């Protein structure tokens, strides 16, 4: 009897130890690293597809297009905010974290969407906007009414206007301050974003606990993770030294543990535009922070390379962001839902990009970026677009593509700020771009070279030379050759200044990608250990002689070679 009792206690101890360790384990097991070779597609429900003819996209509309997304090769959908909102900041001003905006459908429509996505093997992640609420949220309405409100300490208040109230704005040039006098309480509240988006106070443990309840709720609805909005502002010491605040990284690690307690496969994808020497704080020194982050640093230097043809800053940026924990992953993108942020470049570098890609003041935003889609920035040059997207899928990390980019949609600079790149999806050449049967809540692009009658999914599906066809091919190749997402990478030495080369190797293969940032043909000789190279696009074989191969790449050309 004593033997069985001891064995029972030993098993209990083992189970307890496993439970204790698993949430903070820095090395995820292979079945939990799905995000490292995913294809992420970002969309706004309201601008994707309208199913009921009210002019606004909805969850049933997304369901109608899931087969399209599956055919494209998408494995993960990233949804922009869909909770109830006054919609003063395109949904990022939330009034109920536990609901679905009725304009986008019912809770049943949402549940059916999640089911249909799973049926097609598509995971779904959502924007987690917990840095701030709408000023119409019941918490803030209560907090501003009286000092003894239980929600008063959920926000950050000052009796007097702080001396640095005109600093630290996320939207300079549009936003004037980070402290605003509340007309009800006659005290000042803190907000990194617009004045109708008061910041939550994460120094208050009740706020942190509520954020974890929100996370648990949506994980139980079937999400595979979250794109964590405005990460540095969530964990900053609120309202103190806004230009160089201290951060509570322990709270970020606690969020990671909480996410994994509710679902071991769930991830945090962080929006943290930070310098390379800060990456380890967000990923966690032992890999126990966020599993993924957007690589804003490489993105900014990539646009400099696209604008100038100068590759050295991009190569340096890739090397500076190379060292991340095992199991962590970069998310790479060309265009997202915001402006292209160039704030980490020098003034001279930024001016060169403005000159090449956004020369008019109306094309620029927040004194740091450009509010255009990629196709207009590259002059709708199909060779440059093809090269840029080939590179996106061949960068170390996971590719993220924004809706409409796969067909080269344009922008509407008559819309304010970031809405210029958030126009309705262009499906067909029928009225309202096939997005709706009635006038949409936001205008479709119906003039110029990006007119929906010229640029739409239906037309490009039928064109084997279209951008949509190319991106579908790139996604398929990326899936067939996972070394790009999972393998070790180097940048081989060569003497052609316009060529960016990256070589990926895993246990089964070696892939060499080549991209020409110059408009003219480039030729170089490259050391190679294989016997020949296979061009994965054309099937052409290039012989390796005496350990070297001759490469000739046309202007803005791109190649993916398998080394054999």
Active-site option among 50, 93, 199, 229:
229
What is the residue whose two structure tokens read 């595979």? 224
pLDDT digits (tens, 9 = 90+) for 157-211: 999 999 999 999 999 999 999 999 999 999 999 999 999 999 999 999 999 999 9
Sheet with 488-490, side-by-side order of all strands? 488-490, 499-505, 510-516, 558-563, 532-535, 541-543
Of the options 3.90.400.10, 3.40.50.2300, 3.40.50.11900, 3.40.50.1860, the CATH number for the domain spanning 138-190: 3.90.400.10
Going by C-alpha positions, the residue among 140, 70, 58 that lies closest to residue 104 is 58
As a dihedral over the C-alpha atoms of residue 373, residue 379, residue 384, residue 385, rounded to 10 degrees, the angle is: 30
Contact 268, 225 (CB under 8 A): yes
In the beta sheet, which residues pair with residue 563? 510, 533
pLDDT digits (tens, 9 = 90+) for 456-478: 999 999 999 999 999 999 999 99
Q: What is the mean pLDDT of the chain?
A: 93
- Please tell me which residue, 12 or 249, carries the higher pLDDT value: 249
**60 pLDDT higher than 90:** yes
Q: How confident is the model at residue 9 (pLDDT cuts 50, 70, 90)?
A: very low
Centroid of chain to Cα 65: 21
How far lies 203's CA from each of 131, 209, 448, 543, in Å? 12, 11, 51, 63
Q: Is the pTM of this model over 0.85?
A: yes
**5 pLDDT higher than 70:** no
Instruction: Please report the beta strands in 12-66, taking only residues with DSSP state E, as ranges in sequence order.
Output: 40-43
Give the domain ranges of the chain: 138-190, 487-563
In the beta sheet, which residues pair with residue 41? 77, 401
Active-site option among 238, 271, 339, 406:
271
Tell me, what's the pLDDT at 175? 95
In angstroms, rounded to a whole number, what is the distance separating the alpha carbons of residues 307 and 362? Answer: 19
- 429 belongs to the catalytic site: no
Its CATH class, for the domain covering 487-563, is: mainly beta
**25 pLDDT higher than 80:** no
Tell me, what's the pLDDT at 242? 86
Here the tokens at position 512 are: 């060499």
pLDDT digits (tens, 9 = 90+) for 100-136: 999 999 999 999 999 999 999 999 999 999 999 999 9
- 31 belongs to the catalytic site: no
Contact 363, 370 (CB under 8 A): yes
Tell me, what's the pLDDT at 2? 45
**447 pLDDT higher than 70:** yes
């Amino acid at each position: 009897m004593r033997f069985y009792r001891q064995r029972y206690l030993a098993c209990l101890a083992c189970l307890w130890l496993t439970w204790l360790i698993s949430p903070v384990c820095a090395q995820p097991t292979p079945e939990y690293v799905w995000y490292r070779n995913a294809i992420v597609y970002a969309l706004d429900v309201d601008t994707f597809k309208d199913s009921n003819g009210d002019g606004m996209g909805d969850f049933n509309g997304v369901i109608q297009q899931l087969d399209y997304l599956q055919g494209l090769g998408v494995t993960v959908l990233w949804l922009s905010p869909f909770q109830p909102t006054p919609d003063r900041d395109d949904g990022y001003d939330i009034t109920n974290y536990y609901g679905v905006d009725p304009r986008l459908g019912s809770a049943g429509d949402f549940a059916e969407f999640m089911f249909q996505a799973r049926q097609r093997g598509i995971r779904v992640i959502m924007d987690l906007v917990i840095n701030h609420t709408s000023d119409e949220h019941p918490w803030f309405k209560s907090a501003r009414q009286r000092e003894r409100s239980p929600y008063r300490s959920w926000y950050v208040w000052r009796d007097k206007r702080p001396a640095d109230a005109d600093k630290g704005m996320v939207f300079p040039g549009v936003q004037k301050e980070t402290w605003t006098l509340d007309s009800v309480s006659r005290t000042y509240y803190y907000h990194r974003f617009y004045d109708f988006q008061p910041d939550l106070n994460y120094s208050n443990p009740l706020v942190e606990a509520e954020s974890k309840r929100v996370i648990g709720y949506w994980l139980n609805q079937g999400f595979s993770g979250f794109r964590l909005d405005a990460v540095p502002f969530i964990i900053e010491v609120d309202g103190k030294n806004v230009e160089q605040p201290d951060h509570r990284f322990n709270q970020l690690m606690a969020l990671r543990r909480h996410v994994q307690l509710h679902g071991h496969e769930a991830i945090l994808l962080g929006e943290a535009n930070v310098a390379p020497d800060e990456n380890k704080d967000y990923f966690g020194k032992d890999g126990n922070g966020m599993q993924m982050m957007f690589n804003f640093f490489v993105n900014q230097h990539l646009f400099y390379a696209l604008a100038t043809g100068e590759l050295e800053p991009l190569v340096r940026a890739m090397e500076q962001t190379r060292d991340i924990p095992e199991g962590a992953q970069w998310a790479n993108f060309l265009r997202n839902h915001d402006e292209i942020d160039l704030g980490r470049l020098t003034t001279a570098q930024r001016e060169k990009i403005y000159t090449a890609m956004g020369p008019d003041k109306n094309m620029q935003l927040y004194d740091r970026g450009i509010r255009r889609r990629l196709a207009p920035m590259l002059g709708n040059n199909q060779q440059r677009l093809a090269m840029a997207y080939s590179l996106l899928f061949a960068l170390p990390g996971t590719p993220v593509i924004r809706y409409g980019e796969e067909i080269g949609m344009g922008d509407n600079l008559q819309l304010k700020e970031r809405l210029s790149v958030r126009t309705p999806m262009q499906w067909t050449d029928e009225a309202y771009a096939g997005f709706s049967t009635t006038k949409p809540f936001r205008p479709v692009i119906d003039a110029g070279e990006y007119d929906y009658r010229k640029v739409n999914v239906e037309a490009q599906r039928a064109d084997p030379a279209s951008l949509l066809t190319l991106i579908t091919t790139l996604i398929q190749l990326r899936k067939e050759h996972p070394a790009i997402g999972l393998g070790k990478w180097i940048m081989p030495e060569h003497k052609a200044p316009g060529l960016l080369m990256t070589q990926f190797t895993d246990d089964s293969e070696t892939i060499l990608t080549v991209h020409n940032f110059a408009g003219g043909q480039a030729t170089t000789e490259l050391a190679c250990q294989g016997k020949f190279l296979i061009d994965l696009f054309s099937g052409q074989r290039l012989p390796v002689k005496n350990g070297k191969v001759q490469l000739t790449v046309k202007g803005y050309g791109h190649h993916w070679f398998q080394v054999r």
